[in-house]
């Protein structure tokens, strides 16, 4: 036996620092996004939360957020609130709904917009490569829709969710997922659910051919690498899941309103801008608004939530939800 060929715990197969390392023995070390907070840790913003398991076998769950005033006031027991479904970012490989930044972000939207929040925990690559994240997200959405008649497994959704006013949202990879889930609603439908609008923050879209300022960015090849890492059986960066320009179902979106955030310093900015052009060019019968934040980088609003610019974006989301 060649002792030099034996892998040790420290032999690295893939090093995608500062995000993740995968060792030759199969061990996965996530370098970001591993911190978690329990539900209802802090009741600031007057929001209560809880975790609900959808599938023990697959490890799919949701964290549900509810304005505490609805739960405390007996006179509000039949009040219906819009439903805000969130999909977190992290390149399909890091972070969860239980990460402090994502927990706090959804809580802030729930508090300010007076909605019910459902943050989806989907399985991540590389242990669960794409398209598993998409299938998990769709399974979670079907579970949410199972409460339409008031006979689902969760009392909060049964009693208080207004399924005529549903919004999907996400950032980065989560924005990609939200976009794809909206297409799936358009193709397959969610009985009893009316998808009013979708919010995409710094969406993780890409393509083989560089557009705008992408060709001058040193990080561009790493975006290709990240997609390949999360989706090893993919056709590459022109896969319709990552490149809307290659998706024949692009205009099948099951909503009529889109709000897209881009950030000036984000390498993905031009993809977000191009997304609007694509929808218009393909004749999508809806309204898409793009808002660019100057001087900021990718998903800054998640990691600098109290900054002036992040609060401006939060207010845009609230206005988008309330303008029904």
Same domain, 114 and 197: yes
H helix intervals, the chain? 68-72, 100-113, 132-145, 155-160, 173-188, 220-230, 269-281, 300-303, 308-322
Note the pLDDT of residue 3: 39
Note the pLDDT of residue 205: 98
The model's confidence at residue 324, banded by pLDDT at 50, 70 and 90, is low
Within a domain: 100: yes
The model's confidence at residue 78, banded by pLDDT at 50, 70 and 90, is confident
Note the pLDDT of residue 229: 96
More confident residue, 9 or 322: 322
pTM: 0.94
Same domain, 20 and 100: no
CATH number of the domain residue 73 falls in: 3.40.50.1820
Note the pLDDT of residue 217: 78
pLDDT tens-digit map of 49-61? 999 999 999 999 9
Same domain, 285 and 312: yes
Model confidence at 41: pLDDT above 80: no
- Determine what percent of the chain is predicted with pLDDT higher than 70: 94
Select from 62, 106, 60, 53 the least CA-distant residue to 84: 106
Same domain, 22 and 139: no
Same domain, 50 and 177: yes
Catalytic residue among 172, 179, 245, 301: 172
Cα–Cα distance for residue pair 100/67, rounded to 1 Å: 18
Note the pLDDT of residue 66: 95
Within a domain: 37: no
Note the pLDDT of residue 253: 98
Please give the full DSSP string across 80-120, using - where no structure is assigned: -EEEEEEE--STTTS--TTSHHHHHHHHHHHHHHT-EEEEE
Enumerate the β-bridge partners of residue 55.
60
Averaged over 152-159, what is the pLDDT?
Answer: 96
**Total tally of structural domains belonging to the chain:** 2
Within a domain: 11: yes
172 is catalytic: yes
Place of tokens 């309103």: 257
Query: What are the phi and psi torsion angles at 224 (to 5°)?
Result: -60, -45
Same domain, 161 and 298: yes
The model's confidence at residue 86, banded by pLDDT at 50, 70 and 90, is very high
Averaged over 119-146, what is the pLDDT?
Answer: 98
Within a domain: 299: yes
pLDDT tens-digit map of 237-276? 999 999 999 999 999 999 999 999 999 999 999 999 999 9
Within a domain: 161: yes
Same domain, 22 and 117: no
Same domain, 22 and 53: no
Averaged over 278-282, what is the pLDDT?
Answer: 96
pLDDT tens-digit map of 293-313? 999 999 999 999 999 999 999
State whether residue 166 is helix, strand or coil: strand
Within a domain: 36: no
Note the pLDDT of residue 10: 83
State whether residue 157 is helix, strand or coil: helix
Catalytic residue among 136, 171, 247, 266: 266
Query: What are the phi and psi torsion angles at 101 (to 5°)?
Result: -65, -40
Tokens of 234: 């993919």
Same domain, 24 and 98: no
pLDDT tens-digit map of 12-35? 998 999 999 999 999 999 999 999
Cα–Cα distance for residue pair 178/176, rounded to 1 Å: 6
Averaged over 208-232, what is the pLDDT?
Answer: 91
Catalytic residue among 103, 147, 298, 301: 298
The model's confidence at residue 204, banded by pLDDT at 50, 70 and 90, is very high
73 is catalytic: no
Cα–Cα distance for residue pair 16/204, rounded to 1 Å: 17
The model's confidence at residue 216, banded by pLDDT at 50, 70 and 90, is confident
For the ranges 13-27, 96-110, 134-148, the lowest mean pLDDT is seen at 13-27
Same domain, 21 and 50: no
State whether residue 226 is helix, strand or coil: helix
Same domain, 7 and 77: no
> Residue 112 sits in which domain range?
45-322
Cα–Cα distance for residue pair 278/305, rounded to 1 Å: 30
Averaged over 123-138, what is the pLDDT?
Answer: 98
Same domain, 98 and 156: yes
Within a domain: 38: no
266 is catalytic: yes
């Amino acid at each position: 036996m060649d002792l030099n060929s034996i892998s040790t715990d420290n032999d690295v197969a893939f090093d995608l620092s500062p995000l993740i390392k995968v060792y030759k023995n199969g061990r996965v070390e996530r370098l970001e996004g591993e911190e978690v907070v329990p539900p209802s840790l802090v009741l600031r913003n007057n929001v209560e939360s809880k975790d609900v398991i959808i599938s023990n076998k697959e490890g799919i769950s949701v964290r549900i957020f509810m304005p505490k005033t609805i739960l405390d006031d007996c006179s509000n027991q039949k009040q219906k609130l819009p439903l805000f479904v969130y999909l977190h970012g992290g390149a399909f490989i890091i972070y969860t709904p239980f990460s402090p930044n994502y927990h706090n972000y959804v809580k802030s939207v729930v508090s300010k917009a007076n909605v019910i929040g459902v943050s989806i925990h989907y399985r991540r690559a590389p242990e669960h490569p794409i398209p598993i994240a998409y299938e998990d997200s769709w399974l979670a959405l079907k579970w949410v829709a199972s409460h339409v008649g008031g006979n689902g497994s969760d009392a909060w959704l049964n009693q208080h969710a207004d399924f005529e006013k549903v919004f999907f949202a996400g950032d980065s990879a989560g924005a990609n997922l939200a976009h794809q889930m909206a297409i799936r609603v358009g193709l397959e439908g969610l009985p009893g659910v009316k998808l009013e609008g979708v919010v995409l923050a710094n969406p993780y879209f890409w393509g083989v051919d560089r557009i705008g300022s992408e060709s001058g960015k040193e990080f561009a090849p790493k975006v290709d690498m990240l997609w390949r890492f999360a989706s090893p059986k993919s056709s590459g960066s022109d896969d319709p899941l990552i490149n809307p320009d290659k998706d024949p179902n692009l205009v099948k979106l099951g909503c009529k309103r889109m709000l897209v955030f881009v950030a000036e310093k984000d390498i993905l900015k031009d993809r977000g801008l191009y997304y609007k052009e694509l929808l218009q060019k393909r004749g999508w019968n809806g309204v898409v608004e793009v808002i660019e934040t100057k001087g900021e980088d990718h998903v800054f609003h998640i990691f600098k939530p109290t900054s002036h610019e992040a609060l401006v974006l939060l207010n845009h989301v609230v206005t988008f939800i309330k303008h029904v």
